[in-house]
Amino acid sequence: MKKSQASRVGVTLALASMMLAACGGNNEGGGANGNAPAPEASGNNGNGAKQEKVKLTLWHNFAGDDLRAKTVRSFIDQFKQDNPDVELDAQAIPPDGYRQRLATVAAANEMPDLSFVYAGSHSTELYKAGLLQPITELTDANPEWKGKFLPGAFDPYTFEPNQIYTAPLGMSATSILYYNTSLFEKYSVKVPTTWDEMLAAIKTFNDHGITPIALGNKAPWVAQSTIIGSLADRVTGTEWFKNAAAQKDAKFTDPQFVEALGYFKQLVDNKAFQEGANSIDNTQAEQYFIQGNAAMMVSGAWTLTNLAAAASEEQMKPIDVTVLPAIPGGKGDANSITGGAGGGLALSSRTTGAAKEAALKLIYTLSGPEAQKAIAESNSMVMYDTEIDQSKVTSLYYKAFNLVKKTGITPVYDAILSAEGAEALNNGLQELMMDGKPEDVAQKVQDAQARSVTP
Amino acid sequence: MAPAVRSRGFIALALLPALLLFLVFVIVPIFWSAYYGLFDWKGLGSAKFIGLGNYEEILQDEIFWRALKNNLILVASSIAGQIPIALLLALLLLRNTLFSRFIRSAVFMPMVLSTVVVGLIWGYIYHPQFGLANAVLEWLGLESWTRAWLSDPKVNMLAVSIPINWSNVGPYLIIFIAALQNISSEIDDAAKIDGAVGWRKLISVTLPMIWGTVVVSLVLCISGSLKAFDHVIVMTGGGPAQSTELLATYMYNNTFDVYRYGYGSAVSTMIIVISALLIGLQYALTGRKKEG
């Protein structure tokens, strides 16, 4: 593995230098991408003389079999049909390796014209490297469309004042509290709205041999993204977090953050999670929960999509959704979940001319009003004001869709933290689930964040 | 003279394509990544030269030392596990009966499985709630031994090393069987005449005859364990809280998750240095044993 890793880096570098050399030469070549040695170049049956086909490359991660991925792909196909003059090369790359592959071509300055990017550090790094260009002309041309996005939809993509870099295709809502009403009724437990009620519920379920909260934290972002972000926001308030992330007047070693980690530790100490939560993945935890082994699960909107694909309507019927309980004396809004704009298509800074026009059109196709409605009806949240047809979605999704409309949205931790800071927190939470102390974890997060923010 | 020179030239010519590929894709990147280890580089944008800064940071990073320790645990477990088990099985399964061929295939089978499959299978065996390992222990009345094998930091390195050994015994078995079959029958006869049988024959005749193969297997074993990556990435991802982090997963996570290409390159250079050191040490040790 070491060797192939090394050679991968090597090849990347070799490509990088070649691309750099190539770029010097073909500035006037416009948006043409150097990576398509396709056979079409030698004359399109002779009749392509008048108008050359516009070549457009797109990388996205809607590769799966779930409804949302299929929906997005159907819009891509639609675009191909409607625009015969555009030769669209769309690559669907499975989500697990997507970031790495995009990082590799980005390092080689070989970005596709359009690429699906995530909110937060992912797109920010690409922007900072000068690889993206704004799509503001598209939003300016369609003010009505722009206006129907929910508040904050463009925040993570407004890298400089009045310049928007992408329009989100979806919305991430990461800390919905799913609970099994039949288990709550069976043991007459009140759905927790305060921290004490939460601890009481945990105790009752444990006494009856039911796992209180299912958690699959093998990929360590789960506890961070679903639980600590929301919990910490309730304790510290959003303002503090943004300051701490920017390392301005606030630090992660501040007592309020240590206190927030302490609440997570309380969950661990009270055996809220099933044994070995650090060695099973999120999907396994979802299964464990939907089969009635656990009373609650804190998870994101992706669980709606997964359950819609994997669970029966009967299994889903007793499941209901709410927000995490309030924290005594907390500074943040208790009726909130963590979330924000989902990923969107970003435009490569090398794309110009006709290719750019086609690219903007494709962005509108995939995040315009019709696509937003279709995505919302594929059991997947959107950051766009749209009405959905209740009969097209699962009952659980409909509940969550309405819950999210009523709650405030607070930032997801790893969307704001640097990649290093998020990694430190992810590992820190796993440590808390073993023997770690909140103070030590806070210190590590602070060190990592400080190192990556200060140049 | 002339034919020898000509054939030497021909040998060089024939080796050239492979050698070039090897140079370009293996040797050059090694130096390249050592060079990139000198930079503070995110993989995107400009790189800042920081001299030996990354290497200094590595030496001070406790996670690096933990990863090294975990790798050494793997090396030890594969030297103590894979080689003796493979040798023992090779001695037992040397004869070409149907039964021994069946066992040989069975031992070799996990090698043919994709490591991802092996990782997933063992992930389920170790599953804290429905896992086979815990179920067997409960059935045996050893409830107190059940645990979350992959998340308990006291045992998870051990738990991870079992599937790695399991899936790697096969090739060594084949190598040893080939070596044993190469011992000519005259030597067997001579040993018989001298009255060397059983244990005595193994120590004084068989082992010395295949010692070269054992040494090569040890090299493969050590370098294989230092490169270990895929099983661990699938089973634990280096977690929880980096307790099963290996050098290779540490490098991967730094490079591709945290976007520290420079630091990751420096780590990969360290892996090469450590491998070279360990293999040198092993040659020194086994070489002396051979003389004695």
Residue among A10, A103, A436 whose CB faces B25 most closely: A10
Check CB contact under 8 Å for A220 and B239. Answer: yes
Instruction: Choose the mutation target among A100, A279, A429, A440 for the interface with B, i.e. most B CBs under 10 Å.
Output: A279
pLDDT band at B2 (very low <50, low <70, confident <90, very high): low
Check pLDDT > 80 for residue B112: yes
Measure the CA–CA gap between B72 and B59, rounded to whole angstroms.
16
Which pLDDT score, from 0 to 100, does residue B288 have?
Answer: 56
Check pLDDT > 50 for residue A45: no
- Rounded alpha-carbon distances, angstroms, from residue B26 to A11, B19, B260: 10, 10, 22
- Residue B240: is the preceding peptide bond cis (ω within 30°)? yes
- Rounded alpha-carbon distances, angstroms, from residue A99 to A116, B45, B134, B140: 10, 16, 36, 46
Q: DSSP string of B183-211?
A: S-HHHHHHHHHTT--HHHHIIIIIHHHTH
Which pLDDT score, from 0 to 100, does residue B126 have?
Answer: 92
- Rounded alpha-carbon distances, angstroms, from residue A306 to A177, A293, A380: 16, 18, 10
Check CB contact under 8 Å for B241 and A1. Answer: no
- Rounded alpha-carbon distances, angstroms, from residue A452 to A65, A224, A255, B36, B152: 37, 19, 22, 19, 31
| Minimum distance, in Å, between the CA of residue A333 and any CA atom of chain B | 30
Report chain B residues whose CB lies below 8 A from the CB of A277: 128, 151
B110 touches chain A (CB under 8 A): no
Per the prediction, chain B carries an average pLDDT of 87
Residue among B26, B32, B43 whose CB faces A3 most closely: B26
Q: Which helix (H) or strand (E) holds A171?
A: strand A171-173
Check pLDDT > 80 for residue B291: no
Q: What percent of chain A has pLDDT over 70?
A: 89
Q: What does the DSSP 8-state code read for residue A404? A: H
Indicate if the alpha-carbon torsion angle A110, B255, A284, A282 is positive or negative.
negative
Which pLDDT score, from 0 to 100, does residue A348 have?
Answer: 94
- C-alpha gyration radius of chain A: 23
Residue among B229, B257, B272 whose CB faces A1 most closely: B229
Check CB contact under 8 Å for A107 and B258. Answer: no
Contact A428, A264 (CB under 8 A): no
Q: What is the mean pLDDT of residues B87-110?
A: 87
Measure the CA–CA gap between A405 and A69, rounded to whole angstroms.
23
Tokens, residue A346: 């970003």
Per the prediction, chain A carries an average pLDDT of 85
Work out the number of other CB atoms within 10 angstroms of the CB of residue B90: 22
pLDDT tens track for A375-419 = 999 888 888 888 888 888 888 999 998 898 888 889 889 888 888
Q: What percent of chain B has pLDDT over 70?
A: 96
Check CB contact under 8 Å for B129 and A288. Answer: yes
Check pLDDT > 50 for residue A28: no
Measure the CA–CA gap between B29 and A416, rounded to whole angstroms.
34
Measure the CA–CA gap between A2 and A128, rounded to whole angstroms.
29
Which pLDDT score, from 0 to 100, does residue B42 have?
Answer: 80
Q: What is the mean pLDDT of residues A13-22?
A: 44
Check pLDDT > 90 for residue B7: no
Residue among A107, A219, A279 whose CB faces B44 most closely: A107
Residue among A10, A218, A288 whose CB faces B32 most closely: A10
Q: Say what the ipTM of the complex is.
A: 0.80
| Minimum distance, in Å, between the CA of residue B240 and any CA atom of chain A | 6
- C-alpha gyration radius of chain B: 23
| Minimum distance, in Å, between the CA of residue A374 and any CA atom of chain B | 32
Indicate if the alpha-carbon torsion angle A151, A155, A156, A162 is positive or negative.
positive
| Minimum distance, in Å, between the CA of residue A77 and any CA atom of chain B | 31
| Minimum distance, in Å, between the CA of residue B28 and any CA atom of chain A | 8
Which pLDDT score, from 0 to 100, does residue A455 have?
Answer: 62
Measure the CA–CA gap between A333 and A409, rounded to whole angstroms.
9
Check pLDDT > 70 for residue A35: no
Check pLDDT > 90 for residue A113: yes
Measure the CA–CA gap between A166 and A159, rounded to whole angstroms.
10
Which pLDDT score, from 0 to 100, does residue A18 have?
Answer: 43
User: Residue A168: which residues within 8 A CB-CB, separation 6 or more?
Assistant: A119, A149, A153, A154, A157, A341, A342, A343, A344, A367, A382, A383
Q: Among residues 213-272 of chain B, which lie with CB inside 8 Å of chain A?
A: 226-230, 235-237, 239-243, 248, 251-253, 255-261, 265, 268, 271-272
Report chain A residues whose CB lies below 8 A from the CB of B275: 2
Check pLDDT > 80 for residue B218: yes
Instruction: Choose the mutation target among A280, A418, A433, A449 for the interface with B, i.e. most B CBs under 10 Å.
Output: A280
Which domains are delineated in chain B?
Answer: 53-291 (1.10.3720.10)
Residue among A1, A126, A284 whose CB faces B248 most closely: A1
Q: What percent of chain A has pLDDT over 90?
A: 55
Class of residue A349 by CB neighbours under 10 A (exposed 0-12, middle 13-18, buried 19+): middle
Which pLDDT score, from 0 to 100, does residue A443 have?
Answer: 95
Residue among B24, B42, B237 whose CB faces A125 most closely: B42
pLDDT band at B147 (very low <50, low <70, confident <90, very high): confident
Check pLDDT > 70 for residue A368: yes
Residue among A2, A7, A288 whose CB faces B248 most closely: A2
Class of residue B154 by CB neighbours under 10 A (exposed 0-12, middle 13-18, buried 19+): exposed
Give chain A's end-to-end CA distance (angstroms, integer): 32
Which pLDDT score, from 0 to 100, does residue B94 have?
Answer: 82
Report chain B residues whose CB lies below 8 A from the CB of A279: 123, 126-128, 148-151, 156, 235-236, 240
Check CB contact under 8 Å for B32 and A9. Answer: yes
pLDDT tens track for B248-282 = 999 998 888 787 889 999 999 998 999 889 888 88
Q: What is the mean pLDDT of residues A170-196?
A: 93
Nearest to A100 by CA among B34, B37, B43, B63: B43
Which pLDDT score, from 0 to 100, does residue B285 have?
Answer: 85
Contact A410, A230 (CB under 8 A): yes
Which pLDDT score, from 0 to 100, does residue A52 have?
Answer: 76
Q: What does the DSSP 8-state code read for residue A163? A: B
Tokens, residue B38: 């000198």
Check pLDDT > 90 for residue A42: no
Backbone angles phi, psi at A97, to 5 degrees: -105, 5
Q: What is the mean pLDDT of residues B78-106?
A: 88
pLDDT band at A350 (very low <50, low <70, confident <90, very high): very high
Check pLDDT > 90 for residue A43: no
Tokens, residue A127: 């922007």
pLDDT band at A41 (very low <50, low <70, confident <90, very high): very low
Check pLDDT > 60 for residue A8: no
Residue A297: strand, helix, or coil: strand
A→B interface, C-beta within 8 Å: 1-3, 5-7, 9-11, 13, 99-100, 103, 106-107, 125-126, 128-131, 217-220, 274-280, 284, 288, 293, 419-420, 423, 427-428, 430-431, 433-434, 436
Which pLDDT score, from 0 to 100, does residue B226 have?
Answer: 86
Check pLDDT > 50 for residue A11: no
Which pLDDT score, from 0 to 100, does residue A346 have?
Answer: 94
- Rounded alpha-carbon distances, angstroms, from residue A210 to A184, A213, A331: 11, 9, 32
pLDDT band at A313 (very low <50, low <70, confident <90, very high): confident
Check pLDDT > 60 for residue B120: yes
- Rounded alpha-carbon distances, angstroms, from residue B36 to A161, A261, A374, B9, B52: 35, 37, 46, 36, 11
Which domains are delineated in chain A?
Answer: 10-170+342-385 (3.40.190.10), 173-339+411-453 (3.40.190.10)
Beta-strand (E) ranges in A181-261? Answer: 211-214
Contact A413, A338 (CB under 8 A): yes
Work out the number of other CB atoms within 10 angstroms of the CB of residue A353: 12
Report chain A residues whose CB lies below 8 A from the CB of B226: 2
| Minimum distance, in Å, between the CA of residue A1 and any CA atom of chain B | 6
Q: Position A334: which residue type?
A: A
Which pLDDT score, from 0 to 100, does residue A168 have?
Answer: 93
Q: What does the DSSP 8-state code read for residue A320? A: E
Highest mean pLDDT among A155-159, A261-265, A307-311: A261-265
pLDDT band at B192 (very low <50, low <70, confident <90, very high): confident
Check pLDDT > 80 for residue B79: yes
Q: What is the mean pLDDT of residues A195-219?
A: 94
Which pLDDT score, from 0 to 100, does residue A190 have?
Answer: 94
Contact B265, A10 (CB under 8 A): no
| Minimum distance, in Å, between the CA of residue A223 and any CA atom of chain B | 12
Indicate if the alpha-carbon torsion angle B172, B133, B127, A437 is positive or negative.
negative
Residue of B nearest to A111 (CA): B44
| Minimum distance, in Å, between the CA of residue B218 and any CA atom of chain A | 18
Question: Among A226-235, A296-305, A316-325, B250-259, whose mean pLDDT is lowest?
Answer: B250-259
Predicted TM-score (pTM) above 0.95: no
Check CB contact under 8 Å for B259 and A274. Answer: no
Which pLDDT score, from 0 to 100, does residue A220 have?
Answer: 86
User: Residue B189: which residues within 8 A CB-CB, separation 6 or more?
Assistant: none
| Minimum distance, in Å, between the CA of residue A287 and any CA atom of chain B | 12
Check pLDDT > 90 for residue B241: no
Check CB contact under 8 Å for B248 and A99. Answer: no
Q: What is the mean pLDDT of residues A6-27?
A: 44
Which pLDDT score, from 0 to 100, does residue B145 have?
Answer: 87
Which pLDDT score, from 0 to 100, does residue B4 have?
Answer: 58
User: Residue B109: which residues within 8 A CB-CB, separation 6 or more?
Assistant: B170
